Each structure stands twice: as structure tokens, then as C-alpha cells.
Structure 1
Amino acid sequence: MTEFFKVLEAEEVIKIISDFPSLSAEEIRRDNACGRILAHSITSPEDLPHFPRSTMDGFAVRSQDTYGASEGLPLMLNVTGRVMMGMPCEIVLKPGEAVAITTGGMLPEGADAVIMEEYCHVLDEETIEITKSVTPWENVLRPGDDVVKGQELFSRGHRLRFQDIGLLAGLGIEKVEVFKKPEISVISTGDEIVDPSTREIPSGKVRDVNGPSIYARLNSMGYLTRHLGIVPDDEKKLLKTCEEALFGEKESDVLLLSGGSSIGMRDFTLNVISSLPESRILFHGIAIKPGKPTIFATAGNKAIWGLPGHPVSSMIVMLFFVEPFLRRLEGAKENKNFDKSVRATLAVNLPSAQGRLDFVRVTLNTDEAGNTFAHPVYGKSAMISTMTEADGLIAIPTHSEGLDKGTEVEVILF
């Protein structure tokens, strides 16, 4: 018989997640690549800009013709033309001459600087007076000043941001190779679960909370997620649904099972997972509270998470273990499991049992002096309201007996 509880500490779980291979690569259009993770580094195919261009409105000049100019001793230059935006400039600048130019315009041959229009006074159509000198290449971007041809722009594992997409567009890069995003199936299990749309709930039944919340979270993160509904505590039905999710026509890379992971006469999840092809249970239990009865397994190259049935436990396991795992699959090189946090002072003593990582829900308030305090939200892991009332979580370390009132803590924000 398969060992039921193979409990690991949180650090061991994170190590397993970090060692999991990423999915294969795919080529996609640049405009669809924001938020995706590069499977290969990208180098620049050309200089940017590829011609000398002005960064200011003003006049293109030879810097040496401006030396000594000041408010008290202005210099005069002859205006010989205007640079047209978006057009090649065929003007050749000679000593003592200036050419009108706008931001982004191509610098004429012979010019090596632009003097801002604030320091230029038009005397007539052919003459300007300048009251400031400029240095060589002042207010000018030369070829390669922004990006040099052959320069590495982004390394493998970089998550593309919207500003990165802009740079790729500026260099004419139309397609990029990124890691595939995992496709995920979500199944809620349990005889006691009914569809959330059920108006009149029979005694002993509860609406499905975990399925919709998990689906919504994954959907908001851009994953292709399929919610396969509710499966009762029937081994054959659950096995068939899992096989269809992982190996059917629309096969998923990851299967999330909500419920059926704790010890109980009618919890069949572990047996079902063990019956899947090439299955391997990596652990059954994490030394955390809430969320201990968590399963992680593989079936071939597919991943399976058995999440606790209690909503709070399920959500915390999602935030701290499942989501970092999914980011790993899509190629992320960072192993962070939260995006935003704040420092706060603990308002009360918080006891804890050694040997487990405790996640405590807290609310935040700030006093008139600007000090932020964290207050625990008390309640059992079956009470979803404790998550909706909380602003975030604090983690009490595994080998700590608790935290004292007044301790500065990191609050992981929802």
C-alpha cells in the first residue's frame, strides 16, 4: 500500500518545484508576448537609432560655431533650411550655418549638436541669434547610442514587459521564442459539494468554493484553464475524469484536484492518482498550517496537485506553492511566490508550534504617526470570510515558537 503521508517542510517543497523542468518553447508574435518568458536570449539585429537624430526641437549646428555664445554676447548663424520629419536629410551644413530641426529629425551632414529653440532668437527668415554654446553631440542620439547591433537585449528566462515589447518593435523584431504556458484542468471533488448556482441547498451539502476561486485566479494570470466541474467520491468516475483531463483530446499539463487529500474513509484522491499511468507521489503533506494535507504527484510528464478541501488551506497552497510551480513551468527563473509586501509591527503575541510554517491572516491599520500594525484575523481554515477580511498573510518560521508583540513582520499582500 502506498505510504499515505510523506510530509515535507516548505523549503523541501520549493526545492522540488525549482528542479521541475520548464515546458517546451513556441514561437509567437511580438504583440502577444507581453508577460511571456523567453526560451532563448535575444540580440539586436541593428543599431538603434540607425541614424543621428535630434532629441530636442531647435537648430542643428556645428558645436564649434557656438563656442562663446551667451546672453551678453550672442552669436549669429545663417539658417539654410529645415529638416523634414520622417525624410532623409540631404542638407550639408557649412561653417556658420544652422538648420531648423524637430525632435526625432535626422541630423544634417556636418552638424554635431542641436541647440534648443529656447536659446535661439529668430532675427529674420535667414538669421538666428544664439545665447548658449553646445558641446559635441549635445541633444543628439548617435547610431547605437540606444542599442548597439549584436548587443544582448534580454536573456533566457526574462519575462517580457510592455517596455520590452516597445524595444523589440523599434528593432523590427516580429516574433520571439517563449516557453509555453501550462494548460490547467481544475476538478472539485466530494459528495458534499454542489454547483454554486444551486439555490436551495440540501442539508449536509455546501456550494463549491474552491473550484470557482481557483479557476478565477488562474484565469486572471493568463493561463488556459478548464474547470471540469464536480466529481463525487467515486473512484472510477474520478479516475476517468482525471485521465480525460491529462491524456484526452484537450490534454492539460497540470491537474488541480480540490478536496480528497486528507485522511478519510471516502477520500479517494491518493488511490486515483496512484492508478494513473507512470504515476509517482512526490509528497503527501506539507509541514504548514493551514494546508498540510496537500498532494503533489506526476503521471509521466504531467503534474498533479491535490489541494485541501478547506477554502483557506486551498488558497494558501495555491499562493505559496502551486503558483510558483506554474511560473517555473512557463520558464520563470525567479522563485518568488508573491509580488507585493509591506513591513508592519505585530499588534499582539502570536504563538506557533515548532516544526511547521504557520501562515496567519492579518489586517493592517496605520496610526496618526504613520506606523503600520498587523492584527491577526482569527478563524478556522473552513471559514473563507477570514481570507476576504484579511489584507495579507504573515509567515511564522518553521522552527519558531511564535512572534512577540512589537515584532516587525513582512506582510504578504493579497
Structure 2
Amino acid sequence: MQFFKVKTVEETFAMIEENISAIKDTEERPLEEALHYITAACVTAKENVPGFDRSTVDGYAVKAKDTYGSSDSMPGFLTVVGEVRMGESAGIHLGQGEAVYVPTGGMIPPGSDSVIMIEHCEDHEGLLNTYKSVAPGENIIRAGEDIREGEVVLPEGTILRPQELGAIASLGISHVTVYHKLKVGYLSSGDEIVPYQTEKLLEGQIRDINYLTIASLAKQWNVEVIYGGIVKDDFQEFQQKAQNLYDQVDCLILSGGSSVGAKDYTTDVIGSLGSPGVFVHGISIKPGKPTILAMANGKPVIGLPGHPASAMIIFMLFGEKILRKLKGEKIDKKPDRIFARITKNIPSAPGRSDYIRVRLFEKEGEWWADPIIGKSGLITTLVKSDGIVEIRSEKEGISQGDYVPVIATR
């Protein structure tokens, strides 16, 4: 098998953007079952939130000008004419020199324009001493200040986190239109691969740990994973199992058969699934060069390297991007990055992006990244790491003390 012309990391992201589009199937879900789903339509407010002017503190609703000049040594004096109870309408219209007690969240009575905190005044049997002046609008949330009627609260393509669900619930909406939950199929290949539950390995056998790591990442992104098992290096068996799994899912992941070798049938199997076929066959990246990305009749197919650390890094970089595009997420989500100073010089080949596993620690108020050196097949390098340093293709390496972007893995 010969690699096509390898793509840079930047070219690969651009081709994913160009080739992958959102699935169109939608459903109505109750809010309590919609966490981490993606909105398939805009959510528009049909009412104001809050629906009335309300107090943000316990205190007294007043006309701000009636408090001007108030101080500890020279208090102002107002007449308390009533109180507002929680959950009830404010039936009192405030006049000049008057005050009404209002609890936090209570409705502001007409005629008032501010609330003086209870700590800054004192009620003496209906005579309110004010020890501080307040400004118009102080300690008040106006009707519609949070959400205004007719406003688009959430655009299509928004991930529904707890705070988005709360915002929707505040509008009296109980169901939301979302894209259906993504289904991903995972198929391992190789004569040497055996189930991870295998207690005693025969000589040359390798447990299928890639399924657990890749499937766990996908599940973190609210994606359902269907495991197709392990297929031997036989084209007909490989093709049949891949086709059966492909028919059940929105995206197919093949692991272990993307490196150069006489028994590598991955590209032929992908080609048999549908057109247009492979659009990335090799990425200028370390680890993970033998990566395959394809489209088969509208469904993405991802061919991951067999080495565990390589497969996981590639899936974190490109798999997440593909799945987020499929889910209809409009936000250009990239892996979370922090900046830290590197503890060692690290050379890098120009024209290739390198991803170095690192341990993070804090020293004198700064984050430092200490490289964990190990071959791409060593899963323990990821276990020991807190993140991955990105050395972009235009660089020839990084020097000790340089600030570098670190993709968080914890």
C-alpha cells in the first residue's frame, strides 16, 4: 500500500470542514433528557425573563431621589407604607417620601425606581431611617433584562449544557428540538488482536485496548458506540463486517489496519462502502501519520493507527472535530488549550506537526510542561500525561522555557 500525498494538520482540518456535514434527523426531547444534545432549531423567547421588575436584595423599594444626601451622620426619613410578599403582585403605588419592604426576588411596586438594602436602613415602627443614598435602578432587575420577548436565546447548533437547559426552562418550554444522538461503529482488525478480557495472552497476541479508549472518548462527547468486534486480516470477512456495521451507524471507525503492510485491506474495504472514498491518506503528524479519513455515501469513515497512543491522539484531534460536525454543532470547537513553559529542548522536523505528551506542574505562579518521552505504542505515556504539546509544522522545535500550547487530556 502506498500513501497518497500526506496532508498537513491544517489541510486535514480544512478537508474535514469541507467534507463533513450535519446529520438531518431530529427529534423532540423533554428538557430533563436533552443534556449534551445539539439544538436543531433556534429557541426563541415568547415572554420576558424576568416577567416583572424584581429586587436583587432584601430591602425597601424607594424613589432614589428621596435617599439623596443620606448618611450615617445625617439619615433620611421615609414612611413605610407596606410590604411585598414573595409570589404576590405589588398592589401598592409608591408615592413621594414612601418606602415598601421587598424581599429578594420580590416584585418592585409601581412608582419606585430602586431598592435600598436592609443593611443600609432601619425601620422604627414605620419610620425608615436611610443611611446611604441609592441611584435609580440600583438593586433592581428590570422586566426582560435577562431575556427579552422575541429574542433568539439559543441558535441552532448549540450544545445543551445545564445552563442552557435552565434558560429554556425559564421560558416555560418543556421540550426542545435536537439532532438525534449520533451512533458510531467501531471495528478492530488484525490477526494479533484479541478481546481485552483475555486473561492469558499467547505469544504475539495483543489485547484490544483501543476499543475502550476510543469508545470512552466518544461517549464523553455524548455519542453512542456500537462495537463490531475484531476481524482477522481477511478481506472478505473484513469487508462483510465493516459493511454490516456501516449500515447501522452514522460514522464508522476502523482501527489497526491503517499502516503499511501486505495484509492491509483498509483502503479497499473503505472503497467498497461507497463513494467518493478516501480524502485523507496520511497526515504529516507524529504520532499518527498512517491515518485515513473518507466519506462513503455521506457517512464518514475513520481509519485509526493501531498503536494505542497514536490512535487516541488522532481521535482527540480529528475524531472529535468530525463527530461535532456530524452532530450539527455550529461552534468551531477545538481541543481546550492552555499555555505553559516547556522544561526541555525538543527538536521537530519542519513540515510535520508533532504532539508531545507532557506532565503539567505549577512553579512560581506559572504552569510548566515536562515532556514524557516514549514511543507511540506506549499507552502509559498517556496515563502519565496531563496534556499534549503541539509543535506546529512551521517550527523546527521548541526551546527550554518557551511558552507552548498544551491540549488538555484530563
Using structure 2 for the length normalisation, give the TM-score. 0.91
Report the RMSD for the aligned CA atoms in angstroms. 2.3
Structure 2 residue identity aligned to 1:342: F
Residue in structure 1 matched with residue 209 of structure 2 by the alignment: 209
Deviations 1:16-68 (A, max 9, x none): 11122112244333333343333333332222222121221112223343344
Residue in structure 2 matched with residue 319 of structure 1 by the alignment: 316
Residue in structure 2 matched with residue 268 of structure 1 by the alignment: 265
Runs of 4+ aligned residues of structure 1 deviating over 6 Å after TM superposition are none
Residue in structure 2 matched with residue 200 of structure 1 by the alignment: 200
Q: Distance in 2 between matches of 1:406 and 1:78?
A: 67
- Extract unaligned runs of 5+ from structure 1: none
* 1:50-89 equivalence runs, <5 A: 50-89=51-90
Q: Distance in 1 between matches of 2:377 and 2:254?
A: 17
Q: 1:318 to 1:73 in 2, by over 3 A?
A: same
Q: Distance in 2 between matches of 1:68 and 1:312?
A: 69
Residue in structure 2 matched with residue 11 of structure 1 by the alignment: 10
Q: Distance in 2 between matches of 1:376 and 1:113?
A: 57
Residue in structure 2 matched with residue 158 of structure 1 by the alignment: 158
Structure 2 residue identity aligned to 1:301: G
Q: Distance in 2 between matches of 1:268 and 1:182?
A: 27
Q: Distance in 1 between matches of 2:254 and 2:396?
A: 32
Q: Distance in 1 between matches of 2:403 and 2:161?
A: 33
Q: Distance in 2 between matches of 1:364 and 1:178?
A: 38
1:210 CA drift (Å): 0.6
SS of 1:359's equivalent? strand
SS of 2:49's equivalent? coil
* 2:363 pairs with 1:362: no
The number of residue pairs the alignment matches comes to 407
* 1:2-401 equivalence runs, <5 A: 5-19=4-18, 20-24=20-24, 25-124=26-125, 126-247=126-247, 251-278=248-275, 280-348=277-345, 350-367=346-363, 369-370=364-365, 372-401=367-396
Moved more, 50-59 or 89-98: 89-98
Q: 1:7 to 1:106 in 2, by over 3 A?
A: same
Q: Distance in 2 between matches of 1:119 and 1:321?
A: 57
Q: 1:318 to 1:358 in 2, by over 3 A?
A: same
Structure 2 residue identity aligned to 1:16: M
Q: Distance in 2 between matches of 1:399 and 1:141?
A: 52
Q: Distance in 2 between matches of 1:82 and 1:174?
A: 34
1:189 CA drift (Å): 0.9
SS of 1:13's equivalent? helix
1:318 CA drift (Å): 0.5
Structure 2 residue identity aligned to 1:207: R
Q: Tell me, yes or no, if the aligned pair for 2:357 and 2:389 is still in contact at 8 Å.
A: yes
1:191 CA drift (Å): 1.0
1:343 CA drift (Å): 1.6
Deviations 1:310-369 (A, max 9, x none): 112111111111111111112233434311323213413x222233222222234444x4
Q: Distance in 2 between matches of 1:399 and 1:78?
A: 73
Q: Distance in 2 between matches of 1:127 and 1:366?
A: 57
1:102 CA drift (Å): 0.5
Deviations 1:383-408 (A, max 9, x none): 22222222322222224333333433
1:10 CA drift (Å): 1.5
Q: Distance in 1 between matches of 2:167 and 2:366?
A: 41
Moved more, 326-335 or 209-218: 326-335
Q: Tell me, yes or no, if the aligned pair for 1:346 and 1:408 is still in contact at 8 Å.
A: no
- Extract unaligned runs of 5+ from structure 2: none
Moved more, 207-216 or 392-401: 392-401
Q: Distance in 1 between matches of 2:139 and 2:279?
A: 60
Q: Tell me, yes or no, if the aligned pair for 2:70 and 2:130 is still in contact at 8 Å.
A: yes
- Aligned-pair identity (%): 41
Deviations 1:279-326 (A, max 9, x none): 512122111111111111122111111111111211111111111111
Q: Tell me, yes or no, if the aligned pair for 2:158 and 2:331 is still in contact at 8 Å.
A: no
Deviations 1:128-177 (A, max 9, x none): 32233333333222222222222232333333332232222222233333
Moved more, 193-202 or 143-152: 143-152
Q: Distance in 2 between matches of 1:406 and 1:365?
A: 14
Deviations 1:166-205 (A, max 9, x none): 2222222333333344210111111101111111111111
